[in-house]
Amino acid sequence: MRSEASKQKDGTMVSETIADKETGLALWQSEHPRLRYAWLFLLVVIMLSSMFVTTKSYAAARFGTRCQSDYQNSWQESLPYQWKRCAGFNNELDDTDTKVFYFNLQGPARSRFSTCDSCGTGVDDVHLFYVGTHGGTSGTDAALAMWTKSVLAASNTDKWRFGDGGTQCAFFAQYACKTLKLDGKQVNRWLNTFRGGLIMALGSHDTLCDGLTTDETGEDFADGLQKRKKVKWAWFDGNSDWYCDQDVAVFATGSSLTGAKSAEADCNYRRDNVKWQNFGSYAKWRDSQIGWMCWAYIDD
């Protein structure tokens, strides 16, 4: 069952544009064979040059990954398929974009979500941050388990604020259970994180599986991004599974500082339309500019 909802917490809607170029092909239609072949050769060179330029432009986006499969003194259950899932994500997206880092969640990892989120290997050092670990919530926090026993990276406790430091993260993707739990407290857990300008948080409102049939979900998510799917559907489709229930969800924010002057409409538009290829054209709503938080989810 697919469902969408919005909640008031009390950006500019951007339409995609494609610049078309007209090329005068009539020139190579000369009756002189050598001239005809010369123009044909020139046309091939132009086409190859265009492909090269497109690839360079597309590869500008940056991503980073932090994952954990085992935990100190087994304080959390091991996730034996986590490494393959994260490696698959990296190897696929690295074909077209720039992998900045891939680390585990040991040592100072907790600080990379908070006080050191733009120190070179943190959330705000990339446009897309992908993390795989155990997740959960309290009344005030969304939390991610670190390797160290009893250590959690927590949204409000650690003062998460993504999108206004370093590279300015746009997408915070979590292959972790329950961090986007929909229990009426989700706005309080996540609003401060979005105040930095984060465009979308991706995760689960309940459970995600670690198993043989879900070890390629990271790769599938990356593949969807590359194929120009809307980010919401790259996440939903990439993490779907024929065997295991996958309770995926996404959060976004909106502002009334748009032509329509409707924060709710803006939020819904951003949630449903942003792509990996065009996120840079979307406004980074920060602090008091945010007037709405919305979400979409699939409940298996």
| 171 residue type, one letter | F
Query: Helix, strand, or coil here: 272?
Result: helix
How many structural domains is the chain composed of? 1
In total, the chain counts a number of residues equal to 300
Percent of the chain with pLDDT over 90: 79
Identify whether the C-beta of residue 122 lies closer than 8 Å to the C-beta of residue 152.
no
Query: Helix, strand, or coil here: 251?
Result: strand
Which residues lie closer than 8 Å to 231 by C-beta, 6 or more apart?
171, 200, 202, 225, 250, 274, 275, 276, 279
Supply 130's token pair. 């992908």
Asked whether residue 49 is domain-assigned, the answer is no
Asked whether residue 278 is domain-assigned, the answer is yes
The structure tokens 């065997």 sit at 243
Range of the structural domain that residue 263 is part of: 2-13+62-298
Q: What is the pLDDT of residue 249?
A: 98
Residue 1: band (very low, low, confident or very high) from pLDDT cuts 50, 70, 90: very low
With a cut of 60, say whether residue 274 has pLDDT above it.
yes
289: CATH? 3.40.50
**Which residue in 253, 218, 252, 213 sits closest to 235, CA to CA?**
218
Q: What is the pLDDT of residue 15?
A: 28
Asked whether residue 50 is domain-assigned, the answer is no
Asked whether residue 184 is domain-assigned, the answer is yes
Asked whether residue 57 is domain-assigned, the answer is no
Q: Which residue has the higher pLDDT, 25 or 248?
A: 248
Residue 235: band (very low, low, confident or very high) from pLDDT cuts 50, 70, 90: very high
- Tell me the average pLDDT of the chain: 86
Query: Helix, strand, or coil here: 280?
Result: helix
Q: What is the pLDDT of residue 60?
A: 72
**Could you say which DSSP state residue 4 is in?**
E
Which residues lie closer than 8 Å to 131 by C-beta, 6 or more apart?
65, 66, 67, 105, 144, 172, 173, 174, 175, 176
Asked whether residue 35 is domain-assigned, the answer is no
Asked whether residue 40 is domain-assigned, the answer is no
- Give mean pLDDT, residues 63-70: 98
Asked whether residue 226 is domain-assigned, the answer is yes
